[in-house]
């Protein structure tokens, strides 16, 4: 029995999560596995009503589940940072989800903005470090609000954090056909933090002789992702760079409507989410694309040890893009949010 915490969250989060859960129910019936869900009403609305972001009682319960399924976090009436730091980043940090795994895969039939590139060219995966770097929250103000104001925001890299992330990426690369791992950093400018990344990479790679090591600066990585995406297999990178390059990655795989990710703690509680935001302008209109949330269910199943179910969910999504849904944008799919969920269920057979 898999115990899954569900946090639908803000904006279109609840709409896409509903479709993801529809698919989860269908695949569990087909494959005959059991699960239970516990839903948590946290996010922008709860905060605006009660001032609570992530109550300790909820956090304690989350420590006991097998996985968390998250819709979206972000509310137009809440000051930037409160929900992001208090909820999303708090979960990533306090549950020590040190890997943010983001596949960039162009499914058959999907419109790709890159000229002459197809599914055989775009199939790589980004391993984003998820607990350090500019995200750890260090820094502050001096003389705030005066003409002499100073603000600092610190970049943090620890040998332990970098090494466990690199090891995860090497292990992943080892399991793939191409077995190539690109470190994406900026060693020519960030000569302390990224020197640590580089030295650790050089050391750890010796333990994985079957993996082809590669290095690209982050700016060049962006260029190659557009020019020659077929070059990449696994990219390992820092939290901030990973945030940025995976939005670019989402675009070349057809858009935010399909991009899913997992916040992984291999020894603890992991959390799966569509990587797009709460999309307030589409909220409640039944037009948002739930495929990213459905793909997040696929990733969650894989992580829970239901590999066969996971691959059938992915196959159902691919059948749909190959035959019916080319444009993955909100309102452009030719089907409503709920219809897309139904179509995936139908494709599961
Ligand atoms: C993401 C998001 C978050 C991040 C925000 C909402 C804090 O952009 O998951 O990529 O920066 O990690
Ligand atoms: Mn992001």
Encoded tokens for 39: 């839903």
Regarding the beta carbon of 84 and ligand 1, being less than 6 Å apart is answered yes
Residue 94: active-site member? no
Give residue 244 CA to ligand 2 midpoint distance, Å: 6
pLDDT band of residue 269 (cuts 50, 70, 90) is very high
Ligand 1: atom nearest CA of 261 is: 9
User: What residue's CA is closest to ligand 1, atom 4?
Assistant: 243
Which CATH number applies to 1-99+258-349: 3.30.70.20, 3.40.50.1260, 3.30.70.2190, 3.40.718.10? 3.40.718.10
pLDDT band of residue 15 (cuts 50, 70, 90) is very high
Q: What is the location of CATH 3.40.718.10 in the chain?
A: 1-99+258-349, 112-253
Question: In CATH, what number does 112-253 get?
Answer: 3.40.718.10
CA 340 to chain centre: 21
Regarding the beta carbon of 10 and ligand 1, being less than 6 Å apart is answered no
pLDDT of residue 314: 98
Encoded tokens for 233: 């297999």
Q: Which ligand does the CA of 84 lie closest to?
A: 1
pLDDT band of residue 139 (cuts 50, 70, 90) is very high
- pLDDT tens by residue, 157-180: 999 999 999 999 999 999 999 999
pLDDT of residue 323: 95
Share of the chain above pLDDT 70, in %: 100
pLDDT band of residue 19 (cuts 50, 70, 90) is very high
Regarding the beta carbon of 132 and ligand 1, being less than 6 Å apart is answered no
Ligand 1: atom nearest CA of 85 is: 7
Residue tagged active-site, from 41, 195, 247, 281: 247
Residue 135: active-site member? yes
Long-range contacts of 301-304 (CB under 8 A, 24+ apart): 301/24, 301/27, 303/67, 303/262, 303/264, 303/270, 303/272, 304/2, 304/66, 304/67
pLDDT band of residue 88 (cuts 50, 70, 90) is very high
């Amino acid at each position: 029995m898999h115990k899954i915490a569900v946090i639908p969250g803000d904006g279109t989060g609840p709409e896409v999560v509903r479709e993801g859960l529809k698919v989860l129910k269908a695949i569990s019936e087909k494959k005959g596995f059991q699960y239970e869900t516990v839903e948590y009403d946290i996010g922008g609305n709860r905060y605006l009503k009660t001032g609570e972001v992530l109550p300790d009682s909820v956090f304690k319960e989350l420590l006991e589940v097998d996985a968390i399924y998250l819709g979206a976090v972000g509310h137009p009436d809440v000051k930037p940072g409160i929900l992001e730091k208090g909820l999303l980043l708090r979960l990533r940090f306090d549950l020590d989800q040190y890997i943010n795994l983001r596949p960039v895969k162009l499914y058959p039939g999907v419109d790709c903005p890159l000229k002459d590139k197809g599914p055989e060219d775009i199939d790589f995966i980004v391993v984003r470090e998820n607990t350090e770097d500019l995200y750890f929250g260090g820094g502050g103000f001096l003389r705030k609000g005066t003409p002499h104001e100073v603000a600092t925001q610190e970049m943090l890299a620890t040998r332990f954090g970098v090494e466990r992330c690199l090891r995860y990426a090497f292990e992943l690369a080892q399991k793939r056909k191409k077995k190539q791992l690109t470190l994406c950093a900026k060693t020519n400018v960030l000569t302390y933090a990224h020197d640590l990344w580089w030295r650790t990479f050089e050391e750890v790679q010796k333990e994985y002789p079957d993996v082809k090591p590669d290095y690209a600066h982050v700016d060049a990585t962006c260029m190659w992702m557009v020019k020659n995406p077929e070059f990449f297999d696994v990219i390992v990178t820092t939290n901030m760079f990973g945030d940025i390059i995976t939005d670019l990655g989402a675009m070349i795989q057809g858009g935010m409507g399909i991009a899913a990710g997992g916040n992984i703690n291999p020894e603890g509680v992991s959390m799966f989410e569509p990587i797009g935001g709460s999309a307030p302008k589409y909220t409640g209109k039944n037009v948002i694309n739930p495929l990213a949330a459905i793909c997040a269910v696929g990733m969650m199943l894989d992580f829970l040890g239901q590999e066969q179910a996971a691959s059938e969910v992915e196959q159902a999504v691919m059948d749909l893009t190959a035959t019916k849904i080319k444009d993955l944008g909100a309102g452009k799919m030719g089907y409503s949010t709920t219809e897309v969920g139904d179509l995936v269920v139908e494709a599961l057979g």
